[in-house]
């Protein structure tokens, strides 16, 4: 029996605070891969890419004082709910001999990497908009 490291709903939700929809996509995709469901993993990447792009291109349209929590909160809630309902809840991971929680270092590393990628995308979009205007 091979032990599979999966992300719990809490781990994914907390990491999505820093990593946004990109991190949420990563965590959901990874869990589907651990379930052996490559079709759902691929669909997750497609939907996640759409959400990331939609959020990125909607940022310049928001008013200057718009609270960023209104963008982050739906992603955090959705990620937690989705993993809990469609993949693994905490109790299922605790009770399973086949499943194990991802180490905290992995969760932090992925969320930081996604945060840096998000910053790079926002910076690139800002530079593009400055050159256009």
Q: What is the pLDDT of residues 90-113, one digit of tens each?
A: 999 999 999 999 999 999 999 999
The bridge status of strand 4-6 relative to strand 99-101 is parallel
How confident is the model at residue 133, as a pLDDT? 64
- Dump pLDDT digits (tens) for 7-43: 999 999 999 999 999 999 999 999 999 999 999 999 9
How confident is the model at residue 52, as a pLDDT? 95
Sign of the alpha-carbon dihedral angle for 88, 91, 93, 95 = negative
As to burial, measured by CB atoms within 10 angstroms (0-12 exposed, 13-18 middle, 19+ buried), residue 112 is: middle
**CB-based burial, 17-37: b 16+ in 10 Å, e otherwise:** bbbbbbbbbbbbbbbbbbbee
**Cβ(101)–Cβ(90) under 8 Å?**
no
How confident is the model at residue 25, as a pLDDT? 97
């Amino acid at each position: 029996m091979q032990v599979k490291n999966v992300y719990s709903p809490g781990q994914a939700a907390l990491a999505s605070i820093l990593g946004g929809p990109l991190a949420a996509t990563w965590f959901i995709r990874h869990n589907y891969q651990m379930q052996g469901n490559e079709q759902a993993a691929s669909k997750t990447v497609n939907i996640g890419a759409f959400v990331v792009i939609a959020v990125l291109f909607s940022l310049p349209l928001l008013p200057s004082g718009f609270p960023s929590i209104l963008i982050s909160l739906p992603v955090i809630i959705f990620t937690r709910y989705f993993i809990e309902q469609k993949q693994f809840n905490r109790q299922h991971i605790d009770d399973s001999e086949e499943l194990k929680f991802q180490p905290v270092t992995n969760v932090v590393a992925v969320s930081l990497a996604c945060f840096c990628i998000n910053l790079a995308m926002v910076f690139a979009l800002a530079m593009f908009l400055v050159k256009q205007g």
